[in-house]
Structure formats: C-alpha cells, structure tokens
Amino acid sequence: MSFETCKDVWVFIECFQGAPKSVGFELLGQGRKLADGLKQQLCAVVIGKDVDKAVEGAARYGADKVYVVKGDEYENYTADAYGHAFLELVSKYDPNTILVGAMVNGRDLGSKLAVSLHIGLTADCTALSVEAETGNVVWERPAFGGNLYAQILCSETRPQMGTCRPGAFKKPAVNKDNKPMIIEEAIHTPADQIRTRVLEFIKAAEDQGMRLDEADVIVSGGRAMKNAENFAVLQELADVLGGTVGCSRAAVDAGWMPQTRQVGQTGSTVSPKIYFACGISGAVQHVAGMSESGTIVAINKDETAPIFEVADYCIVGDLPESNFQTQAKAGACSRPGLAGMAAG
Amino acid sequence: MNIVVCIKQVPDTTEIRIDPVKNTLIRQGVPSIMNPFDKNALETALQLKDAYGGKVVVISMGPGQARAVLREAISMGADEGYLVTDRAFGGSDTYATSYILSQAIEKLGPFDVILGGKQAIDGDTGQTAPSIAEHLGATRLTYVLDLKVENDKVIARRQVEEGIEVIETSFPVLCTVTKESNKPRYATVSRKLYSMSCDIPELTFADFPDIDTTKIGLKGSPTKVKATFTPKRTATGVTIEGNSPSEMARSLIHKLAEAKVL
C-alpha cells in the first residue's frame, strides 16, 4: 500500500447476529473528523450474513460509502473469514486509515490485519486527530492503567490503523437524508480456509439488568459499600433513575459484584449521561473507564479522594450509614416527571 | 501435548503513582510482577498438562530481570523457561514483539497450544498474542475461558460481549486467557526451591540467524511514540452541602434538575 495512492478513512461496523454495535457508529463520528482533516471520504465496512441494519446505520451516521461483504460464512465472527474479506477489500480499495472498535472481536481482527499488512496498530485509543502537515493520524491512548497517555504515529506505513474503546466517543448526529454509495463486493471465503467453527452460543445471563455500555444512568459502588447487601440500595436508585448498577474492581475482588458489572481499565468503558460513584476512591484505573460520562456525582467520606477531582457534584459523607441512596430516591420521586422517566 | 506460554513482566500498575510536582510517573519502588492474565494462561497450560500430559514451556521477552517471572512460572509447575533478550529487540512495539516471540516459538517448538494473557496490564493492547498467531500462521482464539480435546479436535469456550461461544478448531492453536478462566495455583515448596536454581537459557539475536531484521526492535516497529503525558485532573466540581443526608440528597436532585441533567 503506498502513501501516494491510499485514500479514505474506513470504519469497521462490527455486528453481533446482524445487530450493529454502537462503537462502529461512534467511530463514524471520529472517522468524519479524520476524513475532513485528510480531505478524503468516510467509508463504512460491513461484513456479515444479515447486513441491512448495519448498512442503514452507516448511512444514518454519515458514511459517504459503504463496502458490504455478505455471505453465510460471515454469520459468526471468525478471524479467518472476516480477515480474508477485509484484506481483499483493502487490497482492492487501498484505504489510508482504518478504525476498528476495541471489542473482543475488533481487537482480534485488528491484530490479524496489522500483521498481514505489516502495518502499525494503536490499540484502545481514546482521542484521534490528524497532523495537518504530514497526514499522519495522531493516536492517543492510555497506558499503565491510565497513569500515562501516549500519542502514537505510524509515519512510515499505510494504511494506518487503530482500535478505539467503546464509549470513548459520542455517536455523531443522525443525518436521515444521507445517501451513501453502497458497494457490495462478492468476496467469499472457502470453508476449508475457516479453521474455527462456532458450535453453540450461550447468551449471557441477564445478571443485573441492562448492559453497562447502553445505560444512560449508572450507579456504581466501590470498596466503601462494605458488603454485597448495600448494592441493593444502589440498585433501587438505579431503578428509579432508569439506569443500572456498576462497580469498581475492589467490589469485584471482594466478591460483592460480578466482573461483568466492573467499570474501568479491566472492565467496561462507559459514558452514561449521569455516573454516580458511591464509595469509590477514584483510582486511575477506574477513572479511565468513566471519565467521559456526561455528569459525574461522587459520594465519598474521604474529602481528599481522587474521585472528587473528576466529579461535577461532590458529596462528602459516609455511605451505608447515611443511607443516602434511599433519600436520593425519595428526592427523585418527589419531583414531578422524574418518577415517570424512571418508569420508562 | 506441547504447550508454550508467553509471559510478560510488568510493573504493578495499581502501585504506580504520579509525581504531583513533576507530573511524571513514579516508577521507583513499584514492584515488578507477572502479568496477572499471563498467570491465568499458565494455569490453563498446567491444567492441560494435568489432563493430557506433555510439557509446559514458558518464554518471556525482556531484560535480564524478567527471569524472575520465568522462575515464578517454573515454581508453579512449568517445565522449562527461556528468556528472549537482546539489545536488538529493545523498543519493539506489538508488531515487532509478536514477530520475535513467534521466531522463538518456532525455534523451541513445535507446540500444539500457545497461550498468553488477554492483555498486559502495562501496555493494555491485547494485540501481541493474537499477532503471534498471525506470524506463525496458527489459528487463534482470544478471550478463552477453557479448552479441552475431543477426538483430536479442540473445543474451546470463548467469552464475547454477548455471551459465550463454544468453538471447535484444530491444533496448533493460540489462545488468550482471561481472569475469569481459572484461579492460578500456588507454588509448592519443592518447585520453588527448584525454580531458584534451575537453568533459564537465553535466546538472543545470534540464536535467530534467519530473523528478518527489518521487523525487530525500535526500527522494525511501525508505531512510533510521538509524546507521552500524564492526565491532568483539576477539581472543578460543586460540593453539595447539607446538615443531613436527606438534605444533601434533595439539594443534589435539585441541582441535577436545574442543570437539566435529570
């Protein structure tokens, strides 16, 4: 792939059983910014068996073009089939930049493409920009558990590629009138080239309500919650506000909450409208997973807790004793409209 | 079954602090540990050995001090450890590192199963292990919970966001392992004593006569670090005052509503 000929910013729209994940759409917003900076087009890449929803979403979120590879062999993600299809597209259309969501499968695909194309890959980016004079994307990412941030360039290879954390960016505004060019490529991967086969899928148990990355309100608890029972109170508050419960690593390590509820570096990255951090000190590992939230409310008895450095609203108090949540719940219910919102 | 586990020595990131004056990482006094996810990978390897027999080899790329994590792995039950080390390998990014490790695996192999943690807690990329598979041309499965062998086929359970995939594949396979996969075992006293004195051979640049020098070290790394910085935190939050929890709660709800957040 050469510097002179490569063009356009590609965004992989990852799907699960035909349903596009929001990270792909979030990246279309970032992709647009990069494409404008490079004065190039924004293209979505959709691979799957049922592709309609993803193609439709790519249009709605502003893609100029959508490359589509459709086939029964793409029903489930496999590195072999998806890698093959993606690499065929790359060799035909020669992109400048590729953005992939840092999901389980996205990260897997990213490593496959990077090695096959002998290019750099910057993983788990949280901010992207373009160096105007060179056309290099500046990939910004946290390391050392969020203690350090690095800006990475791939100045000698093309395409340039990065994976980005889900929830790190907001979805762009919907454009209902956008009509991208749809380019369907008949790329098939022979069965003998696909070395893994999904025999069965066991859906995750709906352990505690809605998914963290989809919640508008998250009420998280940490070490100072003291026991698993106190999380029920957080659940009540979350229910009233139409949200869900999260936690810090300390609460998982203590066995009070399942790992699927963990927010932070080794858990989920979230950006709800409101994030309640209850009895969470605010270690960088936790903050790395929630600092992009719209509004952060921190409740901690230690007024020097680092969580207060990122909070919009700070309450110094002892949690379980004060039973603050029940009060907040009462407060929420007493305001007209809030109870209705919570029910919806 | 021949198994190799890739292990990284990392600083314990939970112990890292930022110097408030210089705004730099304080690395002094931060303990070096075996990457926790790699410990789960080692446990997976040891369980496979317990079930099917064979040999568990551990490799690590890094400076001489990384021997410590190889010794720890041997104390837990690994049979052999090799340190991949050379000045020429320094500064490698995930692409170059995975290439060098793939060369080491080819040299020490063949292996049926290659294991690693799902990511390292310092770099957090999760790219190195699956990239090794690509350099080797091996099948890869990331985020594996467990694996077993049935009629020469590998059956693995893989954790994805929506649930668990049960996957069938064949050898050789590279798997990355998560924290939920297992609980790593403790070292026994006799293994611990053995691990302190056993030989940990080095694999250096000279051991790889056919290595592609354009793919190693700082020069062979396509990603370049432009700048590093520590995140700035400035307290700009509004403190909610009140005489009682219920008063503070009301005040908070009022302020959230006022700001049109609720």
- What is the per-residue pLDDT across A85-125, written as a single tens digit (0 to 9) for each? 999 999 999 999 999 999 999 999 999 999 999 999 999 99
**Secondary structure of chain B in HEC code, one letter for each residue:** CEEEEECCEEECHHHCEECCCCCCEECCCCCEEECHHHHHHHHHHHHHHHHHCCEEEEEEECCHHHHHHHHHHHHHCCCEEEEECCHHHCCCCHHHHHHHHHHHHHHHCCCCEEEEECCCCCCCCCCHHHHHHHHHCCEEEEEEEEEEEECCEEEEEEEECCEEEEEEECCCEEEEECHHHCCCCCCCHHHHHHHHHCCCCEECHHHCCCCCHHHCCCCCCCCEEEEEECCCCCCCCEECCCCCHHHHHHHHHHHHHHCCCC
Q: Is the pTM of this model over 0.95?
A: no
Average pLDDT over residues A276-292: 87
Query: Looking at the complex, does the CB of residue B217 fall below 8 Å from at least one CB of chain A?
Result: no
Task: Please report the pLDDT score of residue A342 as a whole number.
Answer: 36
Q: In chain B, what percentage of residues exceed pLDDT 70?
A: 95
Q: How far is CA A113 from CA A317, B43, B252, in A?
A: 50, 29, 49
Most confident of A2-16, A131-145, A205-219, B46-60: B46-60
**Secondary structure of A22-63 in HEC code, one letter for each residue:** HHHHHHHHHHHHHHHHHCCCEEEEEEECCCHHHHHHHHHCCC
Task: Find where tokens 């219920």 sit.
Answer: B246
Q: How far apart are CA A263 and CA A270, in angstroms?
A: 7
Question: A198, B164: Cβ pair inside 8 Å?
Answer: no
- Cβ count within 10 A of residue A9: 31
Indicate the number of domains in chain A: 2
Residues of A in contact with B155 (CB under 8 A): 199
Sheet of A295-300: strand order equals A244-247, A217-221, A274-278, A295-300, A313-316, B238-239
- Cα diameter, chain A: 65
Average pLDDT over residues B216-237: 85
Q: Compute the CA torsion angle B62, B63, B66, B71 (nearest 10 deg).
A: 110
Q: How far apart are CA A344 and CA A273, in angstroms?
A: 16
Q: Mark which residues 28-67 of A lie under 8 Å from B by CB.
A: none
Are A224 and A176 members of one domain? no
Task: Please report the pLDDT score of residue B111 as a whole number.
Answer: 97
For residue A312, give the nearest of B221, B225, B237 by CB distance: B237
Average pLDDT over residues A28-38: 97
Are A181 and A51 members of one domain? yes
Nearest chain B residue to A288 by CA distance is B231
Interface A:B, Cβ pairs < 8 A: 241
Task: Please report the pLDDT score of residue A255 as a whole number.
Answer: 84
Task: Please report the pLDDT score of residue A204 as a whole number.
Answer: 74
* Vertex A55 angle, CA A50 and A59, to 5°: 165
Are A225 and A123 members of one domain? no
Tokens matching residue A208: 């505690």
Query: Looking at the complex, does the CB of residue A210 fall below 8 Å from at least one CB of chain B?
Result: no
Nearest chain A residue to B178 by CA distance is A266
A227: domain CATH number is 3.40.50.1220
CA-wise closest residue to A284 among B246, B14, B249: B14
Indicate where chain B has its CATH 3.40.50.620 domain(s). 2-215
Residue A326 lies in a domain: yes
Task: Please report the pLDDT score of residue A65 as a whole number.
Answer: 98
Question: B122, A144: Cβ pair inside 8 Å?
Answer: yes
Q: Mark which residues 138-167 of A lie under 8 Å from B by CB.
A: 138-139, 142-157
Task: Please report the pLDDT score of residue A343 as a whole number.
Answer: 35
End-to-end CA distance of chain B: 58
Average pLDDT over residues B21-34: 78
Average pLDDT over residues A216-239: 89
Give B256's pLDDT tier (boundaries 50, 70, 90): confident
Task: Please report the pLDDT score of residue A236 as a whole number.
Answer: 85
Task: Kindly state the DSSP code that residue A327 receives in the 8-state scheme.
Answer: H
Tokens matching residue A262: 């963990």
Average pLDDT over residues A145-169: 89
Query: Looking at the complex, does the CB of residue A16 fall below 8 Å from at least one CB of chain B?
Result: yes
The count of C-alpha atoms lying within 13 angstroms of the C-alpha of A86, restricted to the half-sphere facing its C-beta, is: 32
Q: How far apart are CA A275 and CA A248, in angstroms?
A: 12
pLDDT at B15 over 90: no
Q: How far is CA A79 from CA A188, A189, A240, B182, in A?
A: 14, 11, 42, 25
For residue A112, the distance in angstroms to the closest alpha carbon of chain B comes to 6
Burial class of residue A344 in the structure, from the number of CB atoms within 10 Å of its CB (0-12 exposed, 13-18 middle, 19+ buried): exposed
Residues of B in contact with A301 (CB under 8 A): none
Nearest chain B residue to A325 by CA distance is B249
Query: Looking at the complex, does the CB of residue A110 fall below 8 Å from at least one CB of chain B?
Result: yes
Are A54 and A182 members of one domain? yes
Are A280 and A151 members of one domain? no
**CATH architecture for the domain at B2-215:** 3-Layer(aba) Sandwich (3.40)
pLDDT at A323 over 70: no
Residue A4 lies in a domain: no
Bridge-based pairing state of the strands B32-34 and B9-11 = antiparallel
Give B247's pLDDT tier (boundaries 50, 70, 90): confident
Residues of B in contact with A18 (CB under 8 A): none
CA-wise closest residue to A69 among A53, A56, A86: A86
Average pLDDT over residues A208-234: 85
Give A329's pLDDT tier (boundaries 50, 70, 90): low
Q: How far apart are CA A228 and CA A325, in angstroms?
A: 15
Tokens matching residue A6: 């490569």
Bridge-based pairing state of the strands B173-177 and B139-150 = parallel
pLDDT at A340 over 50: no
Q: In chain A, what percentage of residues exceed pLDDT 70?
A: 90
- Cβ count within 10 A of residue B11: 18
In this structure, of A287-291, A324-328, B107-111, the range with the lowest mean pLDDT score is: A324-328
Are A254 and A338 members of one domain? yes
Is the separation of the CB atoms in B77 and B189 below 8 Å?
no
Are A189 and A159 members of one domain? yes
ipTM attached to this prediction: 0.89
Mean pLDDT across chain A? 88
Q: How far apart are CA B251 and CA B253, in angstroms?
A: 6
Are A52 and A188 members of one domain? yes
Task: Find where tokens 């910085």 sit.
Answer: B229
Query: Looking at the complex, does the CB of residue B135 fall below 8 Å from at least one CB of chain A?
Result: yes
CA B60 to chain centre: 10
Are A22 and A92 members of one domain? yes
Mean pLDDT across chain B? 92
In this structure, of A76-80, A212-216, B204-208, the range with the lowest mean pLDDT score is: A212-216
Task: Please report the pLDDT score of residue B137 as a whole number.
Answer: 95
CA-wise closest residue to A297 among B259, B256, B243: B256
Question: A144, B11: Cβ pair inside 8 Å?
Answer: yes
For residue B179, the distance in angstroms to the closest alpha carbon of chain A comes to 9
Of A159, A193, A227, the position where a domain reaches its end is A193
For residue B76, the distance in angstroms to the closest alpha carbon of chain A comes to 22
Average pLDDT over residues B28-38: 90
Residues of B in contact with A197 (CB under 8 A): 167-169
Are A174 and A308 members of one domain? no
Tokens matching residue B96: 């170059």
The count of C-alpha atoms lying within 13 angstroms of the C-alpha of A135, restricted to the half-sphere facing its C-beta, is: 17
To probe the interface with B, which of A266, A285, A324, A341 has the most B CB atoms within 10 Å?
Answer: A266
For residue B152, the distance in angstroms to the closest alpha carbon of chain A comes to 14
Residue A1 lies in a domain: no
Query: Looking at the complex, does the CB of residue A183 fall below 8 Å from at least one CB of chain B?
Result: no
A161: domain CATH number is 3.40.50.620
Residue A218 parent element (H or E): strand A217-221
Is the separation of the CB atoms in A187 and A84 below 8 Å?
yes
Are A243 and A321 members of one domain? yes
Average pLDDT over residues B235-244: 82
Residue A274, φ and ψ in degrees, nearest 5: -130, 135
Q: How far apart are CA A291 and CA A168, in angstroms?
A: 9
For residue A155, give the nearest of B121, B122, B224 by CB distance: B224
Task: Please report the pLDDT score of residue A217 as a whole number.
Answer: 92
Give A337's pLDDT tier (boundaries 50, 70, 90): very low
Q: Quote the domain boundaries for residue A218.
A: 212-343
In this structure, of A131-140, A226-235, B218-227, the range with the lowest mean pLDDT score is: A226-235
Residues of A in contact with B229 (CB under 8 A): 148-149, 151
In this structure, of A145-149, B4-8, B76-80, B84-88, the range with the lowest mean pLDDT score is: A145-149
In tens, the pLDDT along B102-159 reads: 999 999 999 999 999 999 888 888 999 999 999 999 999 999 999 999 988 999 999 9
CA-wise closest residue to A293 among A261, A317, A269: A269
Query: Looking at the complex, does the CB of residue B253 fall below 8 Å from at least one CB of chain A?
Result: yes
Are A183 and A60 members of one domain? yes
Task: Please report the pLDDT score of residue A325 as a whole number.
Answer: 58
Provide the 3-class DSSP secondary structure of residue A119: coil
The answer for residues whose C-beta is within 8 angstroms of residue B2's C-beta and 6 or more apart is B54, B55, B57, B109, B110, B111, B112, B113
